[in-house]
A and B are shown apart, each in its own frame.
Chain A
């Protein structure tokens, strides 16, 4: 079966750091993605990991451990505009990326 799990909701304070975890069990693995989705909008790409380790991109970093089936997205210096859903997604084979249910992040002042 295919399973991607992430917390449903998180709340954090402006300026703080937040870590959103994702665990996955999929029949194939060709990379893990994080997408951001604001309410009523399309998902937009944030990061990609295919090898173990940390990828850093400005205020956003993503980590992958393939042996543990685990990833996290780290958001630093949180801003109000970071309030959105964060979707963990796995490219399971050649032509199929599947998504987790998303973590809704609320950033408060």
Chain B
């Protein structure tokens, strides 16, 4: 069964360092998302991406964050200068597209746990 894959599964970094989290969405999906979940808290929307541009972003997604789809398969989240409060599980998700039969169900990757020291 096709799945969303994320790398790395766990990354430890020093405050102020740049981090790139990588995702390979399901191949025929058209909508891509990043969410984060701080330990013990809710899943928070960061950004959505469609047709090679950001569709919507949250207030969390400030200038320190950026997303890119550098080729036909990868979807990356970059944090330019990490802060302690960026420590969280980051989930990539993808969605097939908005056809009549499509529900908007999100398919999540297993997550990348980021620890900022």
Contacts and interface: CB of A to CB of B under 8 A. Distances in A.
Chain B interface bracket (under 10, 10 to 19, 20 to 34, 35 or more): 20 to 34
Contacts of A94: 55-56, 98
Interface residues of A, number: 25
Contacts of A89: 43
* B contacts with A: majority SS: strand
A101 B38 CA distance: 11
Nearest to A99: B43
B87 to A, nearest CB: 15
A95 B110 contact: no
A33 B44 CA distance: 15
A42 B107 CA distance: 9
Nearest to B98: A94
Interface stretch (A10-18, A43-51, A65-73, A76-84): A43-51
Contacts of A50: 103
A23 B104 CA distance: 20
A96 B105 contact: no
Contact of B48 (A33, A35, A45, A96): A96
A68 B81 CA distance: 43
Contacts of A42: 91, 108-111
A37 B111 CA distance: 12
B106 A48 contact: no
B50 to A, nearest CB: 6
A30 interface: yes
A15 to B, nearest CB: 29
Nearest to B107: A45
A45 B102 CA distance: 13
